[in-house]
Amino acid sequence: MASKSLLEGRKAIVTGGASGIGEAIVQAFVKEGAEVLVVDIPESKISNSLDRNPKVTPLEIDITDKNAPDVITSKAIESMGGFDVLVNNAGISLPNTVEDDGDDIWERTMAVNVTSMFKISHSAVPELKKSDTGRIINLGSIMSDMGGPGLFVYGTSKHAVAGMTKSMAVDLGQYGITVNYLQPGAVVTSLSAPFFEDDDFRNYWIEKAPIGRLGQPSDVAHAAVFLAQKESQFISGLGLNVDGGAIVKF
């Protein structure tokens, strides 16, 4: 007898789902039986294989647009009949330090990484309350727990994700909604690949991880599948490291 898919019957929203970690999460969710609304900016087209999949509905929208949260949740209800899981994956990383004159970097990073996460979650709560297994999964970073050179605003935003997630978990637990955040380490995506072409940078992260390699988007996707399952009902407020052990190694 074939085993049941881990996310059979689940319906999810994944922001930033057209590439990188987001795309890997969408692929993993679909493989495990979920229906997915893939949200990304108009310039980011989802892969042909996902676009042709009947379990996938694309939505092109900038999540920082004023009406985006309500458009996203309304589209999910219209296309899937509702949803049980929200994955706030969309994010940006722009290099800067506290000494830089970077108001524009601060405003844009916070708008994408923090404010939109809050507003989309707020818009999603009424529908998630209808499910007895509602899930919110936010994308943090190992920078949610540490600092890094040249990542002042990004690191600040990911610390905010950690605090927001824990507070959401406290507020929403009464409805059976769990809220957790993933903390990827050095993961190779199309955006990060150029950084890893620098041998010193690449070797630093390989040596820092006790597992001895760089991460892949699929590593993070498997963790998202775990948190999205109905069975993960007693895990909430958790920051789950997906970093090969890098954060615990001096």
Tokens of residue 176, six digits: 């059976």
Helix, strand and coil in the chain, % to nearest 5: 45, 15, 40
Cβ density class 45-54: b for 16+ within 10 Å, e for less: ebeeebeebe
Tokens of residue 159, six digits: 């610390």
Cβ atoms of 167 and 116 closer than 8 Å: no
Cα–Cα dist 9/127, whole Å? 16
Q: Is 154 a catalytic residue?
A: yes
Cα–Cα dist 225/153, whole Å? 29
The candidate with the shortest Cα–Cα distance to 182, out of 152, 144, 212, is: 144
Ramachandran sector of residue 158 (left: φ over 0; alpha: ψ -120 to 50; beta: rest):
alpha
At 92, the amino acid letter reads I
Q: Is the dihedral of CA 233, 77, 168, 130 positive or negative?
A: negative
Instruction: Out of 154, 175, 181, 204, pick the active-site residue.
Output: 154
Question: Which sequence positions are flagged as catalytic?
Answer: 154
